[in-house]
Every structure is written in structure tokens, then in C-alpha cells.
């Protein structure tokens, strides 16, 4: 904007030449304020939103993962080492950011069987012949959400164990023959 034109506009509005001379000339203050606001507020809020969204995605995925594992364990054969349930869970990890932690068992998968609804652990030695636990509990232990934590120099977020307990349904018995299908 030329000096002549700006003086003419200010004169039309009613400013005298003396008032016009005292008015500051803009020198990029808006650009500086935007840069400070962007770097100090908008950018961190954007990263925080992405971080929280990813953490909630993981939270939901792990909760659903334990439910699926407990459902599988309640409908398949009881094995003292829970190898069938562990094999199923490590091969059926839902699509999520830290999928490898669950497939490599870095985030521990814990399967416990109970004989009386979640109080007394079931070991299979107290009954003879055909013996089935009453409930099964599946939980995820030692999982830490590390996404953005290393990038932003934040400590890792430890996710709770997400324990899911369900009653045994068929326990792998498909019919009255007594044959258990793992």
C-alpha cells in the first residue's frame, strides 16, 4: 500500500495529518503472533489429539483382544499349560499399532482357569476322568504404550491388565462322546 493512498484513506476517515504521523506502521506482528500461537498451542494440541486417539485405539483393541481370548478359552479344551489359547491369541492379534508386542509375547498374555468361579485355581488333579474348569480368566500384563513417548520424551504409559473372566461353555466338547477338540 503506497503512502499516498494510505494517507488519503486516513484523511477520508477523518484523521488529521498530525494523527496520521503518530500512527504506527504495521511490521508483521500478526505473522509473529501466529507463529508463536502455532508453535506453542496449535501444534502441541494436534500431537496430543493424535496421541490420545492412538492410546484409546490401543485401549479398545486390548480390551477386545482379552474378550476374544477368553471366549476362545471357554469353548476349547483345557490344557494345563494353556498352549492352545496362547497359540490362538498370538496368531489372532487385532490390527493395532503395537501388534508385534502381542505376537512376540513381549506384552504378557496370562490365562488362568478356576474351579469355583474365580477364587480357587484349577489344576486338573482334584478330579478323576473328565474334568472341566468352571471359569477362565484372560489378561494382558506388562504392556506399555510407547508411541510418541520416545518422540516427545515422555515416560511410557502402562496399560492396565484388562482381565476378562467368563464361565466355561463347551470346553471343547462337541458332543457326548467325551472327545475334546482343541
**% residues pLDDT > 90 (the chain):** 8
- Residue 25 is predicted with a pLDDT of 66
Q: Which of 174, 72, 173, 169 has its CA nearest to residue 130?
A: 173
Residue 49 clears pLDDT 70, i.e. is over it: yes
The tens digit of pLDDT for each residue in 63-106 reads 999 999 999 988 887 888 888 899 999 888 888 888 888 888 88
Q: Please give the mean pLDDT across all residues of the chain.
A: 78
Query: Stretch 149-163: mean pLDDT, rounded?
Result: 79
HEC assignment per residue over the chain = CCHHHHHHHHHHHCCCHHHHHHCCCCCCHHHHHHHHHHHHHHHHHHHHHHHHHHHHHHHHHHHHHHHHHHHHHHCCCCCCCCHHHHHHHHHCCCCCCCHHHHHCCCCEEEEEEECCCCCCECCCCCCCCCCCCCEEEEEEECCEECCCCCCCCCCCEECCCCCEEEECCCCCECCCCCCECC
- Residue 17 is predicted with a pLDDT of 67
Contact of 62 with 159, CB cutoff 8 Å: yes
- Residue 4 is predicted with a pLDDT of 47
Give the confidence band of 28 by pLDDT, cuts at 50, 70, 90.
Answer: confident
Q: Is the overall model pTM greater than 0.75, yes or no?
A: no
Domain ranges for the chain: 29-167
Query: Stretch 146-167: mean pLDDT, rounded?
Result: 80
Amino acid at each position: 500500500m503506497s503512502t499516498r493512498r494510505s494517507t488519503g484513506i486516513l484523511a477520508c476517515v477523518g484523521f488529521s495529518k498530525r494523527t496520521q504521523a503518530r500512527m504506527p506502521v504495521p511490521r508483521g506482528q500478526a505473522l509473529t503472533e501466529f507463529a508463536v500461537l502455532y508453535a506453542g498451542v496449535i501444534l502441541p494440541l494436534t500431537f496430543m489429539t493424535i496421541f490420545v486417539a492412538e492410546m484409546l485405539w490401543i485401549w479398545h483393541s486390548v480390551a477386545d483382544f482379552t474378550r476374544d481370548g477368553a471366549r476362545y478359552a471357554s469353548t476349547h479344551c483345557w490344557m494345563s499349560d494353556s498352549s492352545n489359547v496362547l497359540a490362538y491369541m498370538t496368531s489372532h492379534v487385532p490390527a493395532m499399532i503395537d501388534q508385534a508386542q502381542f505376537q512376540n509375547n513381549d506384552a504378557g498374555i496370562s490365562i488362568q482357569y478356576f474351579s469355583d468361579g474365580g477364587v480357587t485355581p484349577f489344576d486338573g488333579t482334584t478330579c478323576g476322568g473328565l474334568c472341566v474348569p468352571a471359569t477362565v480368566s484372560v489378561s494382558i500384563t506388562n504392556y506399555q504404550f510407547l508411541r510418541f513417548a520416545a518422540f516427545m520424551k515422555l515416560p511410557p504409559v502402562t496399560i492396565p491388565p484388562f482381565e476378562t473372566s467368563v464361565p466355561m461353555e463347551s470346553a471343547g466338547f462337541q458332543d457326548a462322546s467325551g472327545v475334546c477338540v482343541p
